A and B are shown apart, each in its own frame.
Chain A
Amino acid sequence: MAASISHPALSSLRKINCNTNGIFSLISFSRRISVSSVLSTSAVATEKEGAGRGVRGQRRSKRQAGEPRTERMSVDQDWTAVYPTAAPFKPSAVPLPVRMGYPVKRGVPPAKKGNLELIKIPNFLHLTPVAIKKHCEALKQFCTEWPAALNSDEKCMKHFPIQVQSKEFVSAGLSVRNPDARIVTLKVKLSSLNLDDHARKKMIKLSEERYCKDTDTLTIVTDSCPLRQQNYDYAMYLLTVLYHESWKSEAWEQEKTRADMEEYEWEDSPSQKNLLDTLLRMRPTGAKDEEEGAREELLGQPAVQEYRDTLLKLKNEGETEENLQKYKEAVKKLFNI
């Protein structure tokens, strides 16, 4: 009986020794002191200690953490089962020996266990190619085929000339609303609309800076209404109104002067008058009577036509090397130089 209690008594005695430095000398004595005396002195203490050790023992000798999942992973496992959705980095679930962080002097970057840097960064472990294939397979049942007739950009533009663009916004936060999502942009090429010369010029004049000459595109941006549907309706309404108004001719449009013209026209221009006068004077003095017929005859000549073409190019397209050369040739031909 004494022997059976000796163990806890001795260990508790050692514990008392560890806790209180004053009784160091007892350690050397503990082996020789008889059990009975030890029992008598610390009989009360053992119970207390036993009870204390019981509670503390529950905390100290807690059950060990199990082995991490990485030990039991096979090489050909299904990774989408480990990371099915976006999740932070779990060192016990990722079997890679990843290290992250700035190394201490003469050291290595810290290991993955307990590494906060690996948790901070976003990871794409849930988006392996296999996982994406699975997503696509699951989404296929909700998709329809692209119509086979629309197999080129030109055909798409031909059948659907009006392009409407709007933006959707996704952000992290409690609110889904974003006021910039109401903006609608409508783009259409004027060549796809049924316009004659006058209507086209009037439409370009009406749309001012919304028309781009290089790409022949009319762009209407609407953001005055609070909802996207309203802005879309307004943009379509604006397009309709522009189209119909450009076909109409108002009475005051007859007063269009040379300064309002978009392009340079050679007919009835000072240049034409000057040229005809010069050519008429160049003629021999005999045929001065029929001036009207002479003018039309002169206009019909190929040299004059060529001069007209080169002059139009110069005025409308601007001065380039090519244009100036052609003008030079045309003038030379006219005056037989």
Chain B
Amino acid sequence: MATSLVRQTKLLSIVTSQFNSAACFRNIHCTAACLKNRAARIRVGKGDKSVTYEQAYHPHDIGHRKGWLSQHTSNLQGEDEAAERVVEDVFIRRFMYGTFHNCLADEVVIKRRGNLLVICAMMIQKLLPSKFYFLIGYSEELLSHFYKCPVKIEMQTVEEKVVYKYL
């Protein structure tokens, strides 16, 4: 009985050592995969995909060829509440994307002037102006109640998405 157990453990150790060799090496992942080299990048294709300036340049070009979509003072040295601002930004972007369905021509730009939250959005002329005005008023009212601060939406419209290049 003891010898069979010993043999089983020996077998197990042989098997595990084989698995630990370079050929079949598995690790246990405890965190979510970040895929930092695939984030916010549109891969080059056949040449029929139109991309805007924002989509054409990758995150490493921020600060070199692209500006920042969201500006506030919390990221400066010695300032507080950076995380709260980031969470607000994420919510605002999803909100705008959902409220103005298929109308957004480009990313939403968020600016903060003291207490005031300014959301600059570029839209395609898909809806009637009166519908746009209603949605602007609705968004401003709702967001100002959520965040307890004045919210202004500055909207610009273009006929169609501004194409920078084709990938």
Contacts and interface: CB of A to CB of B under 8 A. Distances in A.
Contact of A117 (B67, B81, B128): B67
B114 A172 contact: yes
Interface string A120-133: 11100000000000
Contacts of B68: 120
A102 B73 contact: no
Interface stretch (A2-10, A75-83, A84-92): A84-92
Contacts, number: 89
B109 interface: yes
B115 interface: yes
A122 B120 CA distance: 12
Contacts of B164: 101, 104, 110
Contact of A88 (B65, B80, B118): B118
Interface in A102-157: 102, 104, 110, 113-117, 119-122
Contacts of B113: 86, 172
A114 B122 contact: yes
A115 B162 contact: yes
Contact of A173 (B74, B105, B128): B74
A173 B115 CA distance: 5
Nearest to B156: A90
Contacts of B134: none
Contact of B73 (A119, A171, A180): A171
B14 interface: no
B48 interface: no
A65 B113 CA distance: 31
Contact of A62 (B52, B69, B125): B125
Interface in B30-52: 52
Interface string B52-66: 111001000000011
A175 interface: yes
A170 interface: yes
Contact of B53 (A101, A170, A174, A180): A101
A114 B118 contact: no
A125 to B, nearest CB: 13
Tell which of B69, B148, B164 has the most Cβ of chain A within 10 Å: B164
Contacts of B105: 114
B72 interface: yes
A218 to B, nearest CB: 28
A174 B149 contact: yes
B125 A121 contact: no
Interface string B148-163: 1100001011110110
Interface string A172-196: 1111000010000000000000000
A87 B154 contact: yes
Tell which of A65, A91, A114, A174 has the most Cβ of chain B within 10 Å: A114
A102 B65 CA distance: 6
B162 to A, nearest CB: 4
B158 A88 contact: no
B44 to A, nearest CB: 14
Contacts of A101: 53, 65, 164
B165 interface: yes
A116 B128 CA distance: 23
B140 interface: no
B85 interface: yes
Interface in A170-226: 170-175, 180
A110 B158 CA distance: 15
B57 to A, nearest CB: 7
Nearest to B54: A116
B147 interface: yes
9 contacts: A87-B154, A114-B106, A114-B122, A114-B156, A116-B52, A119-B122, A120-B68, A171-B74, A174-B148
Interface of B: 52-54, 57, 65-69, 71-74, 78-81, 84-85, 105-107, 109, 111-115, 118, 120, 122, 125, 128, 147-149, 154, 156-159, 161-162, 164-165
Interface of A: 62, 65, 86-88, 90-92, 101-102, 104, 110, 113-117, 119-122, 170-175, 180
Given A104-B164, A171-B79, 13 more contacts: A88-B118, A88-B120, A90-B156, A101-B164, A102-B65, A114-B106, A116-B106, A117-B53, A172-B71, A173-B115, A174-B84, A174-B147, A174-B148
Query: Shortest 3 CB-CB distances between A and B: which pairs?
Result: A114-B162, A172-B112, A120-B67
